[in-house]
């Protein structure tokens, strides 16, 4: 049986970074993945340019049953530490918006960097490798892989969540957690587009491809001001993906389609200047024409000129446009979700090292843990920070 100090399961963002760091600290590390390539999600991320971190990382941008859990790791290995690594490799990057940092060229550069870091740590990588079983032994763990057995003092589970099964996502990490008596909190697709109920869906399909800046608010009051996108399945765009993490089935979301505008003031101004202008053409000064027509087919805009518009109609209009209440039918699910909410309950883990307190040598890092970030580089930063914290301890 081949012996290692550390076996890391999952060659994604967290697993590769942890393996590289542990290797560079002198551990003999085996990194295994069921896929034929490492870092498959990194390659797909950020539209192929990998939004690898965010300049404004803060614990408040993470959802977890224990909102304090992420603090220690994020403080010990920060976005600035990762940016320093990116700089060291000469990878050019830019801020797209809201502190989100993307490669100028390609996400492949981040994967290549992590592969190089693993080489520096003399990490042994086995791809297309399935873990058939994991047993606790006197000195650590014994793993049966397809075709061989290996043992290690420490076992790091970095097998990710359930989003995008096409990219290798599996419930492996949750099952292993349960095998060792850990609680796994219910999982849910997050950072995911909404699907809509039939009548609204049919209307909105006509708008497919239209994107507008909006303020979207969940029933618990959480809100995001970014764009929304109409799609042939429902609603997407950054503001919708963000709010999906805070939405529960059956709930409504409120969409303000004119978040920057004092609508009543604008209508009064326009009425004085152009009393015979139609409401439709007036609103088209601030909203895409197709969207205005869509709102009219939904019965949310009266067919009137500005001088015909009554005070009551104006108030209803403001409500319809600035507090448009939509009840999603559901989400597109794990097939298109960027992340998985829930997962391994942090109660069982050390926030400093990601170690399972009750099982010496066992660690969980990255998305498999019940820590989920906002859209915008927050999830990769959690992967890097939790991996680094773990690597110092294995």
Interface with ligand FDA, residue 9, by CB under 6 A: yes
Interface with ligand FDA, residue 12, by CB under 6 A: yes
Gap between the Cα atoms of 329 and 269, Å rounded: 39
What residues numbered 180-199 form the site for ligand FDA, per CB under 6 A? none
Interface with ligand FDA, residue 158, by CB under 6 A: yes
**Sole binder of ligand FDA in the list 113, 383, 389, 391 (CB under 6 A):** 383
Q: Least distance in Å: CB of 91 to ligand FDA?
A: 14
Question: Checking DSSP bridges between strand 124-126 and strand 29-32, what pairing results, if any?
Answer: parallel
Interface with ligand FDA, residue 168, by CB under 6 A: yes
Question: Checking DSSP bridges between strand 211-218 and strand 253-256, what pairing results, if any?
Answer: antiparallel
Dihedral through CA 267, CA 269, CA 270, CA 274, nearest 10?
140
Interface with ligand FDA, residue 152, by CB under 6 A: no
Interface with ligand FDA, residue 367, by CB under 6 A: yes
Interface with ligand FDA, residue 174, by CB under 6 A: no
Q: How many residues bind ligand FDA (CB under 6 A)?
A: 38
Q: How many CB atoms lie within 10 A of CB 268?
A: 13
- x-or-dash string of contact with ligand FDA, 97-136, rule CB under 6 A: ---------------------------------xx-----
Interface with ligand FDA, residue 11, by CB under 6 A: yes
**Sole binder of ligand FDA in the list 51, 125, 151, 385 (CB under 6 A):** 51
Interface with ligand FDA, residue 10, by CB under 6 A: yes
**Sole binder of ligand FDA in the list 153, 377, 388, 390 (CB under 6 A):** 377
**Sole binder of ligand FDA in the list 163, 242, 245, 256 (CB under 6 A):** 163
Interface with ligand FDA, residue 164, by CB under 6 A: yes
Based on CB atoms, which residue is closest to ligand FDA, 169 or 177? 169
Based on CB atoms, which residue is closest to ligand FDA, 204 or 381? 381
**Sole binder of ligand FDA in the list 46, 237, 328, 343 (CB under 6 A):** 46
Based on CB atoms, which residue is closest to ligand FDA, 172 or 194? 172
**Sole binder of ligand FDA in the list 64, 125, 236, 379 (CB under 6 A):** 379
- x-or-dash string of contact with ligand FDA, 25-44, rule CB under 6 A: -------xxxx----xx--x
Q: Least distance in Å: CB of 368 to ligand FDA?
A: 6
Interface with ligand FDA, residue 234, by CB under 6 A: no
> Three-class SS string for the chain?
CEEEEEEEECCCHHHHHHHHHHHHCCCCEEEECCCCCCCHHHHHHHHHCCEEEECCCCHHHEECCCCCCCHHHHHHCCHHHHHHHHHHCCCCEEECCCCEEEECCCCHHHHHHHHHHHHHCCCEEECCCCEEEEEECCCCEEEEECCEEEEEEEEEECCCCCCCHHHCCCCHHHHHHHHCCCCEEEEEEECCCEECCHHHHHHHHCCCCCEEEEEEEECCCCEEEEEEEECCCEEECHHHHHHHCCCCCCCCEEEECCCCCCHHHHHHHHHHHCCCCEHHHHHCCCCCHHHHHHHHHCCCCCCCEHHHCCHHHHHHHHHHHHCEEECCCEECHHHCCCEEEEEECHHHECCCCCEECCCCCEEECHHHECCEECCCCHHHHHHHHHHHHHHHHC
Interface with ligand FDA, residue 380, by CB under 6 A: yes
Question: Is the CB of residue 161 less than 8 Å from the CB of residue 215?
Answer: no
Q: Least distance in Å: CB of 172 to ligand FDA?
A: 3
Contact residues for ligand FDA, defined by CB under 6 A:
9-15, 32-35, 40-41, 44-46, 50-51, 130-131, 158-160, 163-164, 168-170, 172, 338-339, 366-367, 377-380, 383
């Amino acid at each position: 049986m081949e012996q290692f100090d550390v076996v890391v399961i999952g060659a994604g963002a967290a697993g590769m970074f942890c393996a590289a760091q542990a290797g560079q600290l002198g551990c003999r590390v085996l990194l295994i993945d069921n896929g034929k390539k490492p870092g498959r999600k990194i390659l797909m991320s950020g539209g192929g340019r990998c939004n690898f971190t965010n300049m404004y990382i803060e614990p408040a941008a993470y959802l977890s049953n224990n909102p304090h859990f992420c603090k220690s790791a994020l403080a010990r290995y920060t976005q600035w530490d990762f940016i320093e690594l990116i700089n060291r490799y000469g990878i050019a990057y830019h801020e797209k918006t809201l502190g989100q940092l993307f490669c100028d060229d390609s996400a492949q550069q981040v994967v290549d960097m992590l592969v190089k870091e693993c080489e520096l740590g003399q990490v042994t990588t086995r791809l297309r490798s399935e873990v058939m079983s994991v047993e606790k032994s006197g000195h650590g763990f014994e793993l049966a892989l397809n075709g061989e057995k290996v043992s290690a003092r420490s076992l790091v589970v970095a097998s990710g969540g359930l989003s995008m099964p096409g990219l290798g996502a599996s419930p492996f990490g949750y099952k292993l957690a349960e095998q060792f008596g850990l609680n796994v909190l219910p999982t849910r697709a997050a950072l995911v587009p909404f699907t809509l109920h039939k009548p609204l869906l049919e209307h909105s399909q006509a708008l497919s491809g239209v994107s507008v800046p909006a303020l979207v608010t969940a029933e618990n009051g959480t809100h995001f001001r970014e764009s929304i996108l109409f799609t042939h399945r429902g609603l997407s765009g950054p503001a919708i993906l963000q709010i999906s993490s805070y939405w529960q089935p059956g709930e409504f979301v409120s969409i303000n389609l004119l978040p920057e505008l004092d609508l009543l003031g604008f209508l009064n101004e326009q009425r004085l200047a152009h009393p015979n202008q139609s409401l439709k053409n007036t609103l088209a000064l601030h909203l895409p024409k197709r969207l205005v027509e869509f709102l009219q087919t939904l019965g949310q805009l009266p067919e009137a000129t500005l001088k015909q518009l009554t005070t009551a109609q104006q108030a209803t209009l403001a409500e319809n446009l600035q507090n448009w209440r939509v009840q999603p039918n559901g989400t597109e699910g794990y097939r298109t979700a960027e992340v998985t909410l829930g997962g391994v309950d942090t109660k069982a883990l050390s926030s400093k090292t990601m170690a399972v307190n009750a099982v010496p040598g066992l660690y969980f890092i990255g998305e498999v843990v019940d820590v989920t970030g906002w859209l915008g580089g927050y999830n990769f930063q959690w992967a890097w920070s939790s991996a680094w914290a773990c690597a110092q301890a294995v």
